[in-house]
Structure 1
Amino acid sequence: MPPKKSQKLTPFSVYIRWRPLPEEPGATEIKKTQSSASDGHSVSLSLPDASGPSSSRGARSWTSAPSFTKVFEADDNNRGVYENVVSQTFPKIMAGKTCNFFAYGHTGSGKTHTIVGYDHEDPQQVGLCLSAAKELFQKIDELNGSTESNDNDQKLAVGLRMYEVRKKSAFDLLNGRTECFVREGPDGKVHVRGETETLEDGKVRVKPIRVVPCWTFEELQTVLEKGLDLRATGTSTVHDKSSRTHAVFELEIVNQALVEARDAVIERQAELVPHGKFATDVYIEENTKRYTQGSDGKYITNLDYTINQERIDAAEATKREYEERVELAEAKVQETFTTSQHPCLGGKFVFVDLAGSEYYDQKSSASAAGSKQTAEEKQEGRQINSDLFALKEVIRARSSNQTRIPFRSSPLTMVLREHFLGSESGFSAMILTVSPAADQYAATMNTVKYGNLVAMAGGP
């Protein structure tokens, strides 16, 4: 559905991050230069005629628009990227807003290194997600210490939510990698929920992606690292341990009152389901009895039966009673925000480690690694490219201010919908991770062109 007029399409700040040139014999570097203007940085890329695979030789040079916020060189570490991209958004987070950070690039370009990091003990190499969590705890610990009330329900914590999108499903990394389903609800919002669970008394509960409230940074780091162990990897066209999913990490400021209020909504919805089903069954049953089959096989009105409207009304009244309980529970969630002592409640960081795009050029150096892929992994690679194409089409629609944006094109774009349709006071950034290696010239060019499109996509 098209965005409501009250919604604003949050423009992206786009950054380029060059990874180091691989330490391989004969590795050559593409020609890259950058220039600055009042409205941003532009980059120029070219490949010497004698460099790179035969499929890339003679490739045209290209210069972007001055659309990039900053260009990070190969010697810039994760800490430098964090301070320039993420840390500056804390005023928005502490005002209860949402800030989104996407890592995009071809397979093996350093996306996971940027978002998650591989050395969680080195403060210079910790990924953006854990760095944000650490600073977030420092700020909420100060607020918890200054709170006059001793009410533990108001004590702030960080709720961690981790899941990955693979093919048509999402997988909850904090709940044993339980498969979940991406659906658009009648409220127009996208919901990511697990299998239906049948409880006693006919209750039916469908739990959303699990949120784990963490009260210390050490607790959050432990939970996150356990979730990372469940991420799916496989052989890509570049290496044997490639992330094969789009991973989403959310850090939200919560308190116990908010956690309990949201749990209550799930319980009230579970209570509603059997009564809603019973009301529907009664209505169908009574109206079915109103008709009978004649000798010619056609259905005619059964004049001997009168619909029991009292029975229908009683079932509907009970259903409405439980609907009101759901509404009261949802209102309690909103009340938790309005009565909180801290305006930062609900402030959220969202980090998205997009799966790497893949290229199937038989003349490229990727063909050797690609030949190791199983048929299933090759199919996954095509699905990843399809997801990223859908994401590009969403961005293209944004850039031209179209009234209809194709979020339904893939599960990935459905999941990311709320992060695109944010308030004008929100913030979104994309970090392009690219390789300077000549044999990755086509992939690097594609990534930078993609980012140029994102950066030029403005709001309405």
Structure 2
Amino acid sequence: MYKMLLQKFILIHDNRGGKMFPYLIQETKKTSKPSSPIPVSNSFKEPAQKTGTSQATVRSQPIPSPRIVQNSTSPPPSPPKSPTNKRGSRNRRDSIFDYKSEAAKKVEQIAKNRDERRQRQADEKAQKDMLMHLEQNNPYWEFAQMIHEFRAHLDFRPLRETDPVVENQITVCVRKRPLNEKEERRKEVDVMTVSTKNQLIVHEPKHKVDLTKYLENQHFRFDYVFDENCNNDIVYKFTAKPLVKTIFEGGMATCFAYGQTGSGKTHTMGGEFKGKLQNFRNGIYGLVAMDVFKLLNHPKYAQKNLMVSASFFEIYGKLVFDLLNKKQRLRVLEDGKQQVQVVGLTEKIVTKVEDVIDLIQKGSFERTSGQTSANSNSSRSHAVFQIILRKSGSRHVDGKFSLIDLAGNERGADTNKSNRQTRIEGADINKSLLALKECIRALGRKGAHLPFRGSKLTQVLRDSFIGEKSRTCMIALISPGNFSVDHSLNTLRYADRVKELIATDDPENDSTHDLDVEEDNSEEIDDEMIKDEEQRMQISSMEWEILESNRHVIESCVYFHRVACDLYKASQKNGFDKHYYATTWKNLLSEMIEIQKEAFLKADEFCNVLDGRT
């Protein structure tokens, strides 16, 4: 038997040094004829171990540089490299030397995930404990935490001053104010999130049947949404500023603030407050006046020879008062050409911005206000400030800008002062707001019936809703606290309904049912209001007479007191005329009794009418 010695190398891992060394493997194969063994180097000779049909000898010592076999015509093969798969990892046969098993990897990954989960739970518990410690007296801390977690996953992109202004016939915006001192003392939670420049999220706190607390997140979309960091200048740029140019081109512009009492309507329209003082220059009233006079001197409009005048009046229920003329009562009439005229309204010619500011300041002090649960000095009337453009020497109106600060929209739901006066005010306010919404809807539908007779407010603003050049901007203002979430949602739904209509490209494609419902609603509102008009006008007229008689009694009492004091002093002097004294005193008492009797009869009649209505 002749044996042929073959040389092979393998790589053996040295655990001590962490290096790879080549080892020589000797294999022998049997041949058919006996022959002498092929001589090899002495350094490679080892006793062979039989394994099947082949024998292999492995040196126990590493060979850094193995010698070449004698009579070998080819160099020894290089040590083989460990094959790799597509991902670059080694085969399972070689991974036992330098890689962990798949099972070990899974065990380590499970342990790692478990540690991370435990750490995350510990962090959440620590944050929760810290929040409980900081807000231990706040019953709404759980809602605050849920809102904080919700906001952590949002990508905030608020409105910036450099964003472009989009001009629409009807623009609907929402402004959120920060929490005020009263809300912070009550530890209210901010439930309004302005995520982008036109999107708003309301986190409405809810309770399940098992008293588990959760949030109902409601999303709204408008033309612009202003967060608590936006000042009046930014709000003006995107709302009323684009409308100023309209009145110089023969159009009618309307901008009104709508929202709950205390949501910031007067702050937005009139100007920012510093203590009890209001800066009328940075409100929308003053900012519009500045731009009007800028355009008035512009070469494009200077040749028109326009004159600027202003008026300021309020609508309280069915009554209209002139705020620039000691709150004199005004009458709203419609002439034969269906043009609505406010009879007796004072119009002041203004030549500079300071004149407008003076009129705004004077009228704001005269405005009717009262106390509600939301605001100690709540406006109970709709204030309308108008800037009118006319050509010199002409009564024809070339353009008109109506700026309206609406009364609070929750007056009917103010349960803290649920007396008769509050209910009457709330009914009048909500009725006028409903009529205003119907008119805006009709404006958005172009050609639809305009129910402007629904209230005094829409009747006065009738010309602002007619014509292709009429443009309207609505600023809905909301309070961020969780106590006001119901009122804020009502405000947003009101504004959303307006935006929903004008967002439709083709209003004629609406379903027939929706059109019928909208027309029926308009007719129903119009008929009910006209049917109730005479009775309400009677009460409004009687209310005015009662107020006048009350004022007359006060003035007469002051006069009677002065005359009675003078008469008494004269009687203390020596030689006074007793006949004159008695006659004068008798006539004074008779006149006093007559005035008070007349006032009493009017008050009694007014009470009977009110009792009959309820």
Shift in CA distance, 230/124, structure 1 to aligned 2, threshold 3 Å: closer
Paired residue secondary structure (2:253): strand
Corresponding residue for residue 21 of structure 1: 179
CA contact (8 A) 1:157 1:216 kept: no
| Superposition deviation, residue 353 in structure 1 | 0.9
Corresponding residue for residue 420 of structure 1: 465
TM-score (normalised: structure 2): 0.49
Q: 1:126 aligns with which of 282, 289, 302?
A: 282
Report matched runs for 1:28-427 at 5 Å.
Answer: 28-34=189-195, 41-49=198-206, 60-64=216-220, 66=221, 68-119=222-273, 126-143=282-299, 156-193=306-343, 207=344, 209-258=345-394, 262=395, 333=396, 346-358=398-410, 367=415, 370-371=416-417, 375-397=420-442, 403-421=448-466, 423-427=467-471
Shift in CA distance, 191/60, structure 1 to aligned 2, threshold 3 Å: farther
Aligned equivalents of 2:226, 2:194: Cα separation in 1: 12
Shift in CA distance, 177/59, structure 1 to aligned 2, threshold 3 Å: farther
Aligned equivalents of 1:234, 1:443: Cα separation in 2: 19
What is the identity, as a one-letter code, of the residue corresponding to 2:247? I
Aligned equivalents of 1:219, 1:178: Cα separation in 2: 21
What is the identity, as a one-letter code, of the residue corresponding to 1:16? V
Deviations 1:294-324 (A, max 9, x none): xxxxxxxxxxxxxxxxxxxxxxxxxxxxxxx
| Superposition deviation, residue 122 in structure 1 | 8.8
Aligned equivalents of 1:409, 1:58: Cα separation in 2: 41
Deviations 1:90-142 (A, max 9, x none): 43233232221111111111111111114599989711011110121233245
Paired residue secondary structure (1:346): strand
Q: Which sections of structure 1, spanning at least 5 residues, go unmatched?
A: 1-9, 148-153, 194-206, 263-332, 334-344
Aligned equivalents of 1:176, 1:357: Cα separation in 2: 27
Shift in CA distance, 386/94, structure 1 to aligned 2, threshold 3 Å: closer
Aligned equivalents of 1:192, 1:122: Cα separation in 2: 29
Paired residue secondary structure (1:393): helix
Shift in CA distance, 145/379, structure 1 to aligned 2, threshold 3 Å: closer
CA contact (8 A) 2:252 2:463 kept: no
Aligned equivalents of 1:237, 1:394: Cα separation in 2: 30
Shift in CA distance, 405/157, structure 1 to aligned 2, threshold 3 Å: closer
Corresponding residue for residue 66 of structure 2: none
Aligned equivalents of 2:299, 2:354: Cα separation in 1: 18
| Superposition deviation, residue 446 in structure 1 | 0.5
Aligned equivalents of 2:294, 2:342: Cα separation in 1: 30
Shift in CA distance, 398/139, structure 1 to aligned 2, threshold 3 Å: closer
Shift in CA distance, 34/415, structure 1 to aligned 2, threshold 3 Å: farther
TM-score (normalised: structure 1): 0.64
Paired residue secondary structure (1:27): coil
Deviations 1:183-228 (A, max 9, x none): 33221222222xxxxxxxxxxxxx4x22111112212221221122
Aligned equivalents of 1:158, 1:146: Cα separation in 2: 12
What is the identity, as a one-letter code, of the residue corresponding to 2:171? S
Shift in CA distance, 49/403, structure 1 to aligned 2, threshold 3 Å: closer
CA contact (8 A) 1:119 1:126 kept: no
CA contact (8 A) 2:409 2:429 kept: yes
CA contact (8 A) 1:163 1:249 kept: yes
CA contact (8 A) 1:237 1:358 kept: no
Paired residue secondary structure (1:457): helix
Aligned equivalents of 2:273, 2:299: Cα separation in 1: 29
Aligned equivalents of 2:299, 2:446: Cα separation in 1: 41
| Superposition deviation, residue 20 in structure 1 | 0.8
Share of identical aligned residues, percent?
30
Aligned equivalents of 1:12, 1:144: Cα separation in 2: 26
What is the identity, as a one-letter code, of the residue corresponding to 2:172? V
Aligned equivalents of 1:35, 1:232: Cα separation in 2: 37
CA contact (8 A) 2:314 2:381 kept: yes
CA contact (8 A) 2:389 2:400 kept: yes
| Superposition deviation, residue 28 in structure 1 | 0.8
Q: Which has the higher contact order (CA 8 A, sep 6+)?
A: 1
Number of equivalenced pairs: 329
| Superposition deviation, residue 255 in structure 1 | 4.5
Aligned equivalents of 2:447, 2:361: Cα separation in 1: 40
Paired residue secondary structure (1:432): strand
Paired residue secondary structure (2:282): coil
Aligned equivalents of 2:330, 2:259: Cα separation in 1: 26
